[in-house]
C-alpha cells in the first residue's frame, strides 16, 4: 500500500506506477513522472533517491524530456527503478512521506499537468495480429474461404507507419483529404474522407536497442520490451481501398495515430499474463514460444457525439484476442537484422473479439456500411462524423485494484478545404 490515497477504481495504484512525460504551469519543462492515484511523482525531484548499483550514476535519465533514456536502461535498470519507486511510495518508508518540503516539490496533481508524447519515436510499425479482425475484413472483401491471406498464419503481418504523426491522447485529428475512386466507371478524385474510422489497438515501446545485422531471439525478446500504451490508428477506409494495392497502407493511415500518455511497464502487467492463443499451423522454430506472453487487458471504446448526453460505449474487447504475441512481433521484425532503438513503437493492429460487441473498428461494427451503430437518443453512426470524439480505456483487474492505462482520446476535426 502507498501513503498516498488511491481510490479503488483508480487506474494507478502502487501496483501500476506507469511512466509519462508531463509539464506544469509553474514549470513548463517536460519531464518524467510516475502516476500514483490522482497524483504524479515528479522523478526529476526525487532522482537523488535512485541509489542502486544500476542507477546511482545514471540519475540524469529522470530529468530528460522524453522516456527514451529510461527505456534504454535495460531490464536491470527498469527493475531497480521499480523497486525504488515501490519503496519510497510505500506506507512504511519515511523518506518522502515525512518530508513535507520534498513532497510539495515532488507530488503534482494530475489535473494540473499537461501530458506529452512519452517518447521520441524514431520508428513506428503497425502489425495486423488479431485473427478475428483479419478474418472479418477478409470476409468483407473476399470469399470467407480465403479471408486470411496464405502468409497470415505463418508470420506477424505488419507495415511501417509514419512516426511524425504519432500524437499524445487529446490531440485533435483532422479528417484527411485523399484520392478515392468510389465509382469505378469514373476517374478518381480528391475529396474529404467519407469513411473515417478508428482502430482499437495497443502498442509497446521498445526498450533496449539491438544492433544492425543481429536478430533478436525469442529467448531475449523480453529484454527489449519496456511497456505498453493504448493506441488509436485512425484510418481512412475509402482512401485505403483505392490506394492499398499493391504495397499496403499509405496516406489512409498517415494523418494521425493517437497513444495514451502513460506507459504501463511489463513488470506491472506480469501478474495478468494469460495463455497465448493456439496457433495452427505451428509457427516456424524462430517464432516458437516456450512461455505465455499474452495479457488479460480489458478494453472498451466510447463515442461522444453531438446529440448525446454522455459518451456511448460501442465496443468491449480484450488484448488477449491477439493471435501473434509482442515477442513474436519483435522477433519477426528483427529477423532480417533490422535494428530497433529505445522509443520505437510497435502497434498491435485492430483488436477484435469473436462477437460483434467486441469488434474494434467502425468498419466491423457497421459491417462495411450495411448496419448502423446505435448510440442512443436516436443518434446513429456508420463511420465517424466531424466533431465525434473517440475514447479508449483499458485496464487489468487485480485483487481489489486495477492496473490501468487511463484513456486515449481524439476528436475529429473537419477536413481542410481544398
Give the whole-angstrom CA distance, residue 264 versus residue 78.
12
All cell numbers assigned to 389: 470524439
All cell numbers assigned to 383: 463511420
Cα 331 to Cα 183, 206, 328, 398, distances in angstroms: 42, 12, 5, 30
The answer to whether the CB of 59 falls within 8 A of the CB of 43 is no
Residue linked to cell 493504448: 230
Q: What are phi and psi of 228, to 5 degrees?
A: -125, 155
Strands of the sheet containing 402-413, edge to edge, are 173-174, 402-413, 389-397, 298-304, 312-318
Catalytic residue, candidates 133, 224, 332, 393: 133
Whether 133 is catalytic is yes
Q: Would you please indicate which residues are annotated as catalytic (active-site) residues?
A: 133
Amino acid at each position: 500500500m502507498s501513503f498516498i490515497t488511491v481510490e479503488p477504481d483508480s487506474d494507478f495504484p502502487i501496483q501500476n506506477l506507469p511512466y509519462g512525460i508531463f509539464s506544469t504551469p509553474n514549470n513548463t519543462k517536460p519531464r518524467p513522472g510516475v502516476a500514483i492515484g490522482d497524483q504524479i511523482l515528479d522523478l526529476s525531484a526525487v532522482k537523488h533517491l535512485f541509489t542502486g548499483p544500476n542507477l546511482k550514476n545514471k540519475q540524469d535519465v529522470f530529468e530528460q524530456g522524453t522516456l527514451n533514456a529510461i527505456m534504454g536502461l535495460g531490464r536491470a535498470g527498469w527493475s531497480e527503478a521499480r523497486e525504488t519507486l515501490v519503496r519510497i511510495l510505500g506506507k512504511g518508508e519515511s523518506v518522502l512521506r515525512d518530508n513535507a518540503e520534498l513532497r510539495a516539490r515532488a507530488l503534482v496533481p494530475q489535473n494540473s499537468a499537461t501530458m506529452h508524447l512519452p517518447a521520441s519515436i524514431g520508428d513506428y510499425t503497425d502489425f495486423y495480429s488479431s485473427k478475428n479482425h483479419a478474418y472479418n475484413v477478409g470476409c468483407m472483401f473476399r470469399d470467407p474461404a480465403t479471408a486470411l491471406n496464405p502468409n497470415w498464419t505463418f508470420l506477424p503481418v505488419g507495415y511501417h507507419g509514419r512516426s511524425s504523426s504519432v500524437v499524445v491522447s487529446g490531440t485533435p485529428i483532422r479528417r484527411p483529404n485523399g484520392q478515392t475512386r468510389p465509382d469505378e466507371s469514373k476517374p478518381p478524385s480528391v475529396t474529404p474522407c467519407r469513411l473515417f474510422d478508428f482502430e482499437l489497438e495497443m502498442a509497446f515501446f521498445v526498450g533496449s536497442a539491438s544492433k544492425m545485422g543481429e536478430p533478436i531471439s525469442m529467448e531475449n525478446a523480453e529484454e527489449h520490451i519496456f511497456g505498453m500504451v493504448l493506441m488509436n490508428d485512425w484510418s481512412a477506409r475509402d482512401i485505403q481501398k483505392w490506394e492499398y494495392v499493391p504495397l499496403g497502407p499509405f496516406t489512409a493511415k498517415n494523418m494521425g495515430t493517437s497513444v495514451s500518455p502513460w506507459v504501463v511497464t511489463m513488470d506491472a502487467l506480469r501478474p495478468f499474463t494469460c495463455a497465448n492463443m493456439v496457433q495452427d499451423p505451428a509457427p516456424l522454430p524462430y517464432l516458437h514460444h516456450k512461455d505465455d506472453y499474452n495479457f488479460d487487458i480489458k478494453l472498451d471504446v466510447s463515442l461522444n457525439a453531438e446529440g448525446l448526453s454522455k459518451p456511448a460505449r460501442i465496443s468491449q474487447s480484450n488484448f488477449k484476442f491477439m493471435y501473434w504475441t509482442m515477442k513474436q512481433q519483435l522477433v519477426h521484425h528483427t529477423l532480417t537484422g533490422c535494428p530497433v532503438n529505445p522509443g520505437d513503437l510497435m502497434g498491435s493492429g485492430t483488436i477484435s473479439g469473436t462477437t460483434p460487441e467486441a469488434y474494434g473498428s467502425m468498419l466491423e461494427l457497421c459491417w462495411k456500411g450495411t448496419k448502423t451503430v446505435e448510440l442512443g437518443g436516436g443518434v446513429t453512426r456508420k463511420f465517424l462524423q466531424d466533431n465525434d470524439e473517440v475514447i479508449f480505456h483499458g485496464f487489468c483487474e487485480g485483487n481489489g485494484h486495477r492496473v490501468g492505462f487511463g484513456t486515449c482520446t481524439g476528436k475529429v476535426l473537419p477536413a481542410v478545404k481544398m
